[in-house]
């Protein structure tokens, strides 16, 4: 039973941080540069791939899709733990979530900052401990 609750706890940082990130993307200037010239340059620049979007729109879209992905991971794992906990006995499912969490930890350590690293590390640690408990029991 503790493994199930750890899985639920591990899901929450993904939902919370993803939700905050999505809010910041659309309703604040938190992802704007401190250099307004750079922001304007992104709004006036096109990627080599296409002139159908700007670097600013791509930046906004990447942030939004990143947010929705984190929220999705959290909600799917939360729902499975609550309603379909038999899935939590699937080594493949457990492994994929641990690997995904570790990948997010690496991204946070390499490219982001302390708050996401702490939250994602806590969630991933819960997934790892829960996985060990499920596989040993």
CA-closest candidate to residue 76, choices 53, 93, 59, 57:
93
Q: What is the pLDDT of residues 56-67, one digit of tens each?
A: 999 999 999 999
* Per-residue pLDDT, 85: 87
Q: What is the pLDDT of residues 79-115, one digit of tens each?
A: 999 999 899 999 999 999 999 999 999 999 999 999 9
Q: What is the pLDDT of residues 18-39, one digit of tens each?
A: 999 999 999 999 999 999 999 9
Could you give the number of structural domains in the chain?
Answer: 1
Cα 134 to Cα 129: distance, rounded to the nearest angstrom:
9
The range of the structural domain enclosing residue 84 comes to 2-136
Cα 80 to Cα 50: distance, rounded to the nearest angstrom:
39
What is the reported pTM? 0.92
């Amino acid at each position: 039973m503790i493994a199930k609750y750890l899985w639920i706890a591990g899901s929450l940082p993904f939902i919370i941080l993803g939700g905050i990130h999505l809010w910041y993307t659309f309703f604040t200037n938190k992802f704007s540069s401190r250099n307004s010239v750079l922001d304007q340059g992104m709004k006036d620049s096109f990627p080599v791939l296409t002139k159908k979007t700007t670097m600013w729109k791509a930046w906004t879209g990447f942030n939004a899709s990143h947010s929705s992905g984190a929220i999705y991971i959290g909600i799917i794992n939360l729902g499975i733990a609550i309603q379909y906990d038999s899935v939590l006995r699937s080594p493949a499912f457990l492994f994929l979530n641990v690997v995904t969490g570790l990948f997010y930890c690496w991204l946070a350590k390499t490219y982001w900052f302390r708050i996401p690293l702490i939250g994602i590390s806590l969630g991933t640690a819960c997934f790892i401990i829960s996985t060990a408990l499920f596989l040993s029991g």
